Structure 1
Amino acid sequence: MSVTIDITGLPHERIAFCPSPLAELGAALHALSEPAHHARLHGWTTTTSAALKPELADRLHEADFMWRSTRSDILLPAQPRETLAEELDDLDRMDDETYVGAALEISCSSQYANGVPSPLVDPRSRRRALDLAAARGPRQAAFVERMLADPTGTRAWVRRLLEDCDDAFFADTWQRVRVQLAADARHKTELLRRKGLADAVAAVSPAMSLEEDERGTRIVVDKLMHGWTSADGSALTFLPTAFGWPHLVALHAPGWKPVIQYPVSTRELAGSASVETVKLRLEAVAHPMRMRICRSLARGPSTTSELADTYGITPPEVSRHLAVLKKAGLLTTQRRGRYVLHQLDVAVVARLGSDFLESVLR
């Protein structure tokens, strides 16, 4: 499963790596609303949450569906600016139907990739938006009702909310992280210029790859979902974030320029496994006999014959189970004369839980 961005014919000059204060504020607000996703930010989230005035915390709670479970597309600008005020000005120039449709797309719906009509003009989308908001709480439901009834006034309310966040905590936070993000963006731009797009994409995240064949050129983002979009010769924007890990956000809605928000390089991300690899490993250890075999192989190396004798099954049966475990990357093998010894790769198994969590959060 993956999100694919078709960039066939897109000149490298239209591929940009650039920090965005609005996108980083969105990532920071997500971390505040879901601190369990971001254990490494525990100090920042705890301190910042404790310092929030109750009135601001209440307003953030009211609108948190725009950054909590999913990230609203309005928070991922395709043309980053130097300041948050400039990016908010760009948002103000967006028409109501587009703004409200993006702001209220608050679930990872299968309809996202096909495009959903704005709830301002489509009764079915309106009912869906109200139902999704009601499931999240009465405050959120009231906010959505207000946005549908008075989009202009509610958009102004959202801008004031983001400006108040800037005054309360984000301006100082942005000053601390913007240098790191700008340096990362410059590094990726240099990689793109000197070594090409494949190297730049590989440096962004091991969960991304560049595919080129007779059908064209595509960037593939390893995600637990299917999606497709085309840059259509316009532009592709990469937004580095200091608050994002383990999330890798890909804006691929029809009619929007594609945007990828990626966490700046970390040791944890560099060791991440693909969704397919995690699936293989979970399926491999789910079988009761393979789990028992893992118990033996975790204690030390064993041959196929030894395992067959231990568990009362035939060597061919053991070989089939070992083949599944090996394909999943859970075993190491070594040859000693005519014997082949198998052993569980304990380090890989120890990462399985965190790899699974990252794959579903990515």
Structure 2
Amino acid sequence: MSVSIDVTSVTADQYLFAPSPLAELGSALHLLVEPAHHQTQNGWVTAATAGIAPDLMDRILVADYLWRTSRSDMLLPAAPQPTLAAELDVLDALDDEAWVRDALMTSSCGVVPLRDDLASPLVDDVARKIARDRAGARGPRALEFVDQILARPGAARSWIRRLLEDCDSGFFAEAWTRVASRLAADARHKHDLLERHGLEAMLAAVSPALTLTAAGDRIVVDKLQDRTTSASGRGLTFLPSTFSHPHLLVVHAAGRRPVLNYPIPPGLEEPTVSVADIQNRLHALDHPLRLRLIRSILRAPQTTAQLADAWTVSAPEVSRHLAVLKNAGIVTTTRRGRYVLYEIDIARSARLGTDLIEALLR
């Protein structure tokens, strides 16, 4: 499962690396309404929430359809600008149909299926029904918010711009001042990597969840969804973020320049684990005998013969199950003389739950 981006005819100068104040504000708003997704940012969330005026927080919650469960595509600009005001001006230049489409028919998170064959909900009855159904599934407040956008797009656009401006003055400007230079430095670093070492090296530095196919024609994003898009003729934008971990967002709407919004880890962290690796570990745990073997090995390193005696099964059967556990990285082996002892990789096994959640949120 992955998002695949065709880069067959994309030249080096068509890859854009730049921080986006609008994208970072979108990540900050998501943090405020979904703090459980971002345990490493609890300190910032607590401090920011304490300083936000109650009226502003109420309005953030009213509009959270745009940044809670999925991130609105309009919050992830393909052509980032140096200031939030400039990026909001770009949004203002969109006509109502394009603005409503980018606001309501999101592609970046992959939470809901994307329909490439639909126009804007303002003019397409099927798209309108889908937008309202998705909002209704989130509750009456979300449905009322979406209905206001559909009924009075001009007024809704002005209201949302004012909300984002008030968020900027209320809490985000200070945060942006603190992180902007770091984001700009990371963007320059990724650009230099691309120029000096090529696309594959740059992707590896952006995220272990990004790989280049052997043919060099597609970027593969390791996410729990199956989508394809093309950067040919459009190019590809990379937006670094200090607030988005563990999310790796990909705007892949039809006809749009793809955008990758990637997290910069706040410090030394465990490497990103692939979906396939997590599936492998879960499969290794789905047999009762393998769980019994793990139980024994946790208490002390064991040989195949010891495990066979303990659970009254044949040595070949134990060996077969141990091979599955070893292949999944749950057990390791050490040799003592002529004996091979099996041990549990406790640190890696203990991260399974965290790795699973991060992969699902990615």
User: Which TM-score tier does this pair reach, normalised by the shorter chain?
Assistant: over 0.9
Aligned to 1:303: 303
The answer to whether the aligner puts 1:12 opposite 2:12 as a matched pair is yes
SS of match in other structure, 1:134: helix
Matched, 1:101 2:109: no
CA distance in 1, matches of 2:105, 2:52: 27
Aligned partner of 2:123: which letter? V
**Is structure 2 residue 181 aligned with structure 1 residue 149?**
no
Q: What letter is aligned with 1:140?
A: A
Counterpart Cα distance in 2 of 1:203 and 1:312: 49
Structure-to-structure mapping, 1:304-323, within 5 angstroms: 304-323=304-323
For residues 192 and 93 of structure 1, do their structure 2 counterparts lie closer, same or farther at Cα, with a shift above 3 Å needed?
A: same
Alignment of 1:170-209 (within 5 A): 170-209=172-211
Alignment deviations for residues 202-241 of structure 1 (CA, whole Å, 9 cap, x no partner): 000111111131xx51111111111111101321110000
Instruction: Name segments (4+ residues, structure 1) moved above 6 Å.
Output: none
Residues 231-261 of structure 1: CA deviation (Å, up to 9, x unaligned): 0132111000000111111111111110001
Displacement after TM superposition at 1:31 (Å): 0.4
* Counterpart position of 1:112: 114
| Equivalent runs, 1:222-301 vs 2, <5 Å | 222-267=222-267, 269-301=269-301
Q: Distance in 2 between matches of 1:294 and 1:116?
A: 51
Q: Is the 8 A contact 1:205 1:269 kept in 2?
A: no
| Residues 1:57 and 1:182: Cα distance change in structure 2 (over 3 Å) | same
Distance 1:233 1:309 in 2: 65
Contact 1:113/1:252 (8 A) holds in 2: no
Quick check: 2:118–2:124 contact (8 Å CA) kept in 1? no
SS at match of 2:224: coil
Task: Write out aligned runs for 1:16-27 (5 A).
Answer: 16-27=16-27
| Aligned equivalents of 2:11, 2:21: Cα separation in 1 | 26
Letter of the structure 2 residue corresponding to residue 29 of structure 1: L
Letter in 1 for 2:10: L
CA shift, 1:269, in A, is: 5.0
Instruction: Identify if the C-alpha distance between structure 1 residues 291 and 2 changes in structure 2 by more than 3 Å, giving closer, same or farther.
Output: same
User: What code does the residue aligned with 1:264 have?
Assistant: I
Gapped regions of structure 2 (runs ≥ 5): none
CA-CA distance at 1:131 after TM superposition: 2.3
Deviation at 1:145, TM superposition (A): 0.9
Indicate if the aligned counterparts of 1:113 and 1:227 stay in contact, CA closer than 8 A: no
Query: Counterparts of 2:329 and 2:149 in 1: how far apart (Å)?
Result: 50
CA contact (8 A) 1:207 1:221 kept: yes
Contact 1:302 1:343 in 2 (8 A): yes
- Map of 1:336-347 to 2, 5 A cutoff? 336-347=336-347
Kindly provide the CA deviation profile for residues 99-144 of structure 1, in whole angstroms up to 9, marking residues without a partner as x: 2122113684553163543211122221222222223233222211
Equivalent position of 2:62 in the other structure: 62
Provide the rounded CA distance (Å) in 2 between the counterparts of 1:174 and 1:292: 51
Q: Which amino acid aligns with 1:127?
A: K
RMSD: 1.6
Helix, strand or coil at the partner of 1:212: coil
| Amino acid aligned to 1:320 | R
**Partner residue in 2 for 1:158:** 160
2:325 maps to which residue? 325
Provide the rounded CA distance (Å) in 2 between the counterparts of 1:116 and 1:296: 56
- The reply to whether residue 126 of structure 1 matches residue 128 of structure 2 is yes
Rounded Cα–Cα distance in structure 1 between residues aligned with 2:263 and 2:144: 33
* Cross-structure match for 2:42: 42
Q: Tell me the percent identity.
A: 53
Q: Which consecutive unaligned segments of at least 5 residues does structure 1 have?
A: none
SS in 2 for 1:29: helix
The alignment covers a number of residue pairs equal to 360
Hey, what's the Cα distance between the residues in 1 that align with 2:76 and 2:31?
16
Q: Aligned to 2:27, what secondary structure does the other structure show?
A: helix
Residue of structure 1 equivalent to 2:217: 217
Structure 1 residue 23: deviation in Å?
Answer: 0.4
Which secondary structure state, in structure 2, belongs to the residue aligned with residue 141 of structure 1?
helix
Q: 2: CA distance between counterparts of 1:113 and 1:289?
A: 45
Structure 2 CA distance for aligned equivalents of residues 251 and 329 of structure 1: 33
Change in 2 beyond 3 A, CA 1:358/1:109: closer
- Separation in 1, partners of 2:51, 2:112: 38
TM-score under structure 1 normalisation? 0.95
| 1:334 aligns to 2:351 (yes or no) | no
1:39: Cα distance to partner? 1.3
- The residue number in structure 2 matching 1:52 is 52
* 3-state DSSP of counterpart to 1:292: helix
Q: Per-residue CA shift, 1:178-214, capped at 9, x if unaligned? A: 011011111111111111111111000111111131x
Q: Which letter does structure 1 place at the counterpart of 2:277?
A: T
Shift of 1:270: 4.7
